[in-house]
Structure 1
Amino acid sequence: MSEEGTHGPVVAGVVTGVVGFSCSFVVVLAGLTAVGASGAQAASGLLTLCVTQALGMLWLALRHRIPVTLAWSTPGAALLATTSGVAGGWPAAVGAFVTTGVLIVLTALVPRVGDLVAAIPHSLARAMLAGVLLPLCLAPVTALVDAPAQVAPVVLTWLVLLRLAPRWAVPGALAVALGMVVATAHIDAAALAPQLAWTTPTWSLSALVGLALPLYVVTMASQNVPGVAVMSGFGYRVPWRESLAVTGIGTIAGAPTGGHAINLAAISAALAAGPAAGPDRARRWIAAVSAAVTYLVLAGASTALAALVVAATDGVMQAAAGLALLGTLGSALAEALADPGEREAAAATLVVAASGISVLGIGAAFWALVAGLLLRTFLRTGRPAAAPVAATERGTASTAART
């Protein structure tokens, strides 16, 4: 194999891994901590996610010779970050992660389960995601006011790179934030070695309903279904059932050491499957292999990065995480509110999700979907049926579930 034939895919895979990791690892750490993980358990979760998604990518790419890339569920991590505690603590959260993996495997085995997810109105699923992201995306604003000297360099770096090199805007902002932590914080070098922390899962009804179900829905609707659409746009047919089985099993296996969920990559998938990975489409699968190796290398830095996040001045890393999620928030808002006929129900879903309420020990994301579905049903009773929104995307999921 010539150097010319491999250089493009290899570099594209490294970029895919670096960008995918740096754009949201802070969100992952914040999410795991919010549902009860200690610093060591959150670092273990980050390491686990890197390894499980890397192994899944290697399996799928080498077996099918297509650039299938996997990722951790960034929307899922954002959902965790806005959860105000879990009944049963961290072990119950781990039990919810296991259940999420089981549901993903069931989706692979039973097409009707996928149909249930596809039946959730796209506008409401995106509105729930937007509501989950909104509080996190306010962090750069509040942090800039509270700690301008520490946060302003992060925001300015993001702004400049967003204009000059958009792909590197978030990684650049995170690099500046981490650099400031390294320059000012004292970290015990003995605590930087990668390590796994095992937690025996437990199960509670409130954690299953309030955490596992929303995590499953947001992972399927905001990652797996768009991931198929992105790959289809580049002419690749994703092995849907096998991909779900791989990611579901990976989620189950990784849950006891802190991994919340892995899934098909959506945004970063374009980096490995698109023209940046070389002109020869038949060799772009090498980019997925390169991305997997990159994640395995980055896994070794997980504990050190988690320690830096913990040592950071309050607000700095939260601001960087909020900047990382702004693009996703904008996309979710645009899709949630695109159809005038769905707008009231979507808006209600958004505000309930953003409220952070907890009723009967069940978090806001679940109640947001309930409120949106009830309002949508009430408003549509007696009205002529409206044309479905995002029919193409839902059709992609429904068709893929049968392949």
Structure 2
Amino acid sequence: MAETRKANQVRNATQAVGTALVASSESRAPPSSDNHDTRSASGRYEARSDSNRDQNPRGGGRSRGRGRGRGGLAGRGRGNSSQQSTGQVGSNRQIGVDCGDTFSPVVKQATIRTVLSLALSQSWKIHQLDVTNAFLHGNLHETVYMYQPMGFRHQQFPDHVCLLKKSLYGLKRAPRAWYQRFTDFVISIGFRQSRCDHSLFVYHHGTDVAYLLIYVDDIILTTSTDYLRDHLMRRLGDEFAMKDLGPFSHFLGVQVTRTTNCMFLSQQQYTNDIIERAGMTSCNPVATPVDCNPKLSATSSPEFDNPTQYRSLAGALQYLTFTRPDISYAVQQVCMYMHSSRVDQWNALKRIIRYLKGTTSFGLTLGSVGDFSLRAYTDADWVGCPDTRRSTSGYCVYLGSNLLSWSSKRKAVVSRSSAEAEYRGVANVVAELS
């Protein structure tokens, strides 16, 4: 059994994520301090075929790194300054131009609600797909070497390094590489990329229409006909390892209940989790998320003794506003003090949770739209913030009777009059509409 296990490790090492074993004069890499799940790593290694390997000698001055993270990642580049400034990937990116922030291919919330409204209005079926090991599909255009990860080293060549030909989970360039690979393919089969939201792709040929939304590795697909849906899913399945999750019912923690021409979006389970995390499962519910007291101030009360808990719950409430526009303003108020929370802000946050306790079943309803006109409403206060004297404005946008987008945000500058505050609010909602 021991010999069989060792033979499997050697075979897995030779198939490691589209890499090639090449000669290296470097000494053996020190053991990693991370304790990884070997079976999980094996699954990702076996996701690559032998055609992705190539025997090449390692050139001098190229990027090389130690295996870290999940299954081994490329380390800090060595060579010129442009390679050294890229962290793990070792490419020619420049700080302030195309690095410094994490690239995340996610679709806008308003786009999701718009596509769902269109599908309901046309009585189209909505399917959900999942890409297996999405980041492993990305193509690398840089020369990146990595040490053989622990547990998958070749017995005959333990000091050799691997030349990456595909991206790995944990590489800073992996999300961008995957998104570019996916974008290039769907455009090649007839989709057009939206200019307003780059995670939305539209297929329109004759009477055939399809909308595709991608959120990292989760895909929503709605088509005008069943034949078109099967055709597109077959094309996607031929190119990527896809899972058909069936009709749209659960997406990013949102439960979806659909009738003939209506859809209800709810985060009830997520709401209960927030209440439990706050330790308020037995609290008394209240009728409103905010009270009538003066607005929160940064100096109105002593500092809260557990700022980590405050930030954790405030961040969780932010995601809950995906289906709960009724708490948008209250959450915006408590999130302004995440850097320095006070007792008053903590009491305001607890009031939101008490409100959620009595409204866990609330959500957002989308229905069939007969009138496709956009309507927007906006309002703003004046010098409402007691600390900065800035104004807070909010808006909501409707497509027919469906609520698509909403926001509550404090202005970046002080308005000199109530009229200026109102006009700045109008400018914000006009930018959202366009």
| TM bracket (short chain) | under 0.3
- State the TM-score, normalizing by the size of structure 1: 0.24
Query: Greater RCO between the two (CA within 8 Å, min separation 6)?
Result: 1
Q: By percentage of residues, which structure has more helix? A: 1
Task: Tell me which structure has the larger Cα radius of gyration.
Answer: 2
Instruction: State the TM-score, normalizing by the size of structure 2.
Output: 0.23
